[in-house]
């Protein structure tokens, strides 16, 4: 049995035990006449399910926020790069494009190294948000929103942007950003 199922099983047992203690009635006395599960146990289990599902939705919302923030930062860096190119400030343009490339990479990896460390902890604890998608090869282990296809698109654009940082040109940056936006529209916006 997986660690996640064991944790869930233990959580359910604890919730049932606590509900029985709270009621102050032995389990045998609570059994309905038809032999079914006592209504109080079903209600407690429903509450537990609501909480677990809410945690999953919260994780999705958090990752969507991380992605939206990375995208917004990339857009800001694109504006900085264009302004620096117009002002013939090669150093500022290079710095902005490098930052933009990093932001796009974070779209592909659902965040930076700090987020990856948290994802690793969740995986080690048996928490796989998209376990079925992982089994089908759609998601990398622990990923919530970004599929393998989306990851590749964003990382390819990040590499292209990093190459453009050597000698940034506004039209080339704009063309690569359009690829990022297309990947966003196809893979991320549709997940919202």
Domain ranges of the chain: 57-191
Query: CA-CA distance, 160 to 183, in Å (whole number)?
Result: 14
Nearest to 122, CA basis, from 62, 64, 59 = 59
Q: What is the pLDDT of residues 48-92, one digit of tens each?
A: 888 888 888 999 999 999 999 999 999 999 999 999 999 999 999
Q: What is the pTM of this model?
A: 0.78
Contact 84, 92 (CB under 8 A): yes
Q: What is the pLDDT of residues 2-58, one digit of tens each?
A: 454 445 455 666 656 555 555 555 555 556 778 788 989 889 888 988 888 888 899
Q: What is the pLDDT of residues 145-190, one digit of tens each?
A: 999 999 999 999 999 999 999 999 999 999 999 999 999 999 998 7
Record the tokens describing residue 125, joined without a space.
């604890």
Residue 174 neighbours by CB under 8 Å, 6+ apart = 78, 82
> 57-191 domain in CATH 1.20.120?
yes
Nearest to 120, CA basis, from 140, 149, 138 = 140
Residue 92 neighbours by CB under 8 Å, 6+ apart = 80, 83, 84
Record the tokens describing residue 51, joined without a space.
């909480």
Measure Cα distances from 38 to 41, 55, 142 in Å: 5, 26, 37
Nearest to 181, CA basis, from 78, 71, 18 = 71
């Amino acid at each position: 049995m997986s660690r996640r199922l064991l944790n869930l099983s233990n959580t359910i047992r604890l919730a049932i035990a606590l509900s029985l203690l709270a009621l102050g009635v032995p389990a045998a006395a609570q059994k309905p006449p038809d032999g079914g599960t006592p209504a109080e146990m079903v209600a407690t289990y429903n509450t537990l399910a609501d909480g677990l599902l809410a945690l999953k939705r919260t994780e999705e919302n958090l990752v969507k926020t991380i992605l939206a923030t990375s995208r917004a930062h990339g857009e800001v860096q694109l504006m900085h790069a264009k302004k620096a190119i117009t002002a013939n400030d090669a150093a500022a343009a290079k710095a902005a494009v490098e930052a933009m490339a990093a932001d796009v990479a974070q779209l592909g990896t659902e965040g930076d190294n700090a987020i990856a460390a948290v994802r690793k902890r969740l995986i080690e604890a048996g928490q796989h948000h998209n376990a079925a998608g992982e089994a089908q090869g759609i998601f990398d282990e622990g990923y919530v929103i970004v599929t393998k296809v989306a990851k590749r698109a964003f990382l390819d654009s990040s590499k292209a942007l990093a190459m453009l940082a050597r000698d940034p040109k506004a039209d080339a940056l704009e063309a690569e950003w359009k690829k990022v936006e297309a990947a966003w529209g196809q893979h991320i916006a549709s997940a919202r």
